[in-house]
Amino acid sequence: MELAAYSYREDEREYFEKFGKQYGVKVRLIKEAPSPENAALAAGCESVSVITTAITAEIIEKWHEAGVRCISTRTIGYEHIDCEKAWELGMTVSNVSYSSGSVADYTVMMILMVIRRIKYIMKRFEAQDCSLFMKRGRELANMTVGVIGTGRIGEHVIKNLSGFGCRVLAYDLYPKESVGRMAEYVDFNTLLGESDVITLHTPATPESQHMICRESIEKMKDGAVIINTARGSLIDTDDLIDALESGKIGAAGLDVIENEMGIYYGDHRYKVIHNRQRAVLNEMPNVLLLPHTAFFTDQAVSDMVEYSIVSCLNTVEGRENPWEIKK
Ligand SMILES: NC(=O)c1ccc[n+]([C@@H]2O[C@H](COP(=O)([O-])OP(=O)(O)OC[C@H]3O[C@@H](n4cnc5c(N)ncnc54)[C@H](O)[C@@H]3O)[C@@H](O)[C@H]2O)c1
């Protein structure tokens, strides 16, 4: 099988070489993100591997004409792919799973950074302000953390949190027994009303869009902290900004933000970034913004490359593909 790996980064090379050889797959490395103009670069490949750039109907049609049958994204989220178009053309779409510790560890790091005011402390320290002014934090053991979405990452976050002695509440459409042994499942409104920290771990779907909005924020404790390492669309950003300005929300940690596509993963030095909400949030001393890097560990990158290759191979060779996204 031959696979065209788009948006390939230099740090992925060792894994494409290693797993390409291990699984007998020829890999065509393409630095650019897919576009209608460069879709022909995949001609002759049965499969393409992509990341979180827009995979539009036009690109998919061109790939189909070029003989591509399988689209794999080296990410967990797949909302950037026009799956309907791919399915209409009889193509397979798949995502990958990877070490949940990558995002889960980062989430706990963000919770701690936010409740200990690390952004503010570091900024002030850079300016030689070593006073204790406004630098007092809170301890997790005295707090209740609400975890929304208890899939692979949410469950791992709960496991990580178990060492901190905090009360953990959980909410998911499909509660799991293993999570029920570590946390208390409650309904959505109870979680909102009783949590000091709320952390989001659901995929971006029409149902989860803006689950954090004016209405849900009103149900939260005054000064609640919101952490989002899932997807930007889960939060209505304007409503979050209003709540941070009024003090209803005490602080936030956001690895993802609405309309981040085209901004995150690019180097924008000396350029104007077209996302005003990001600029407003970045100015706030109690908001920790990070550029969608929660996933980025050596193990996760290795898993992303390996499972993307294996996923395409399963499809092309007619085996069961555990990562296939079905209608
Ligand atoms: N920041 C990053 O770098 C990064 C990296 C990987 C994944 N993510 C995001 O994290 C999300 C979670 O990943 P995962 O591997 O745990 O996924 P998963 O599929 O294992 O778990 C998702 C959980 O969310 C639940 N869920 C879905 N819709 C819901 C809703 N409307 N309300 C309540 N629960 C709902 C599901 O039942 C499931 O238990 C991904 O979808 C992705 O968007 C972000």
Ligand 1: which of 187, 199, 201 to mutate, most ligand atoms within 8 Å of CB?
201
**Active site residue: 46, 155, 260, 306, which one?**
260
**Pocket of ligand 1 contains residue 149 by CB under 6 Å:** yes
Q: Does the pLDDT of residue 94 top 90, yes or no?
A: yes
Residue 54 has pLDDT above 90, yes or no: yes
Mean pLDDT of 237-242: 98
Mean pLDDT score of the chain:
97
Kindly give, in sequence order, each residue whose CB lies less than 8 Å from that of residue 272, ignoring residues fewer than 6 positions away. Answer: none
Q: Report the alpha-carbon distance of residue 93 to residue 107 in Å, rounded.
A: 28
pLDDT band at 227 (very low <50, low <70, confident <90, very high): very high
Average pLDDT over residues 122-138: 98
Distance of CA 117 from the midpoint of ligand 1 (Å): 27
Q: Averaged over 315-321, what is the pLDDT?
A: 96
> Does the CB atom of residue 92 touch ligand 1 within 6 A?
no
pLDDT in tens, 149-198: 999 999 999 999 999 999 999 999 999 999 999 999 999 999 999 999 99
Beta-bridge partner residues of 206: none
Question: For the residues of 87-112, what is the DSSP string, one character each?
Answer: HHTT-EEE-----THHHHHHHHHHHH
The sheet carrying 92-94 orders its strands as 26-29, 2-5, 47-50, 70-73, 92-94
% of the chain at pLDDT higher than 90: 99
- Dihedral over Cα of 295, 301, 305, 310: its sign: negative
Q: Is 28 in the active site?
A: no
Task: Give the whole-angstrom CA distance, residue 296 versus residue 106.
Answer: 10
pLDDT digits (tens, 9 = 90+) for 258-299: 999 999 999 999 999 999 999 999 999 999 999 999 999 999
DSSP-derived letter for residue 67 is T
pLDDT band at 56 (very low <50, low <70, confident <90, very high): very high
Tell me if 205 CB under 6 Å of ligand 1.
yes
How much is the pLDDT for 119?
98
Q: Give the confidence band of 327 by pLDDT, cuts at 50, 70, 90.
A: confident
pLDDT class of 116 with cuts at 50, 70, 90? very high
Given the residues 117, 156, 201, 231, the one annotated as active site: 231
Full-model pTM: 0.95
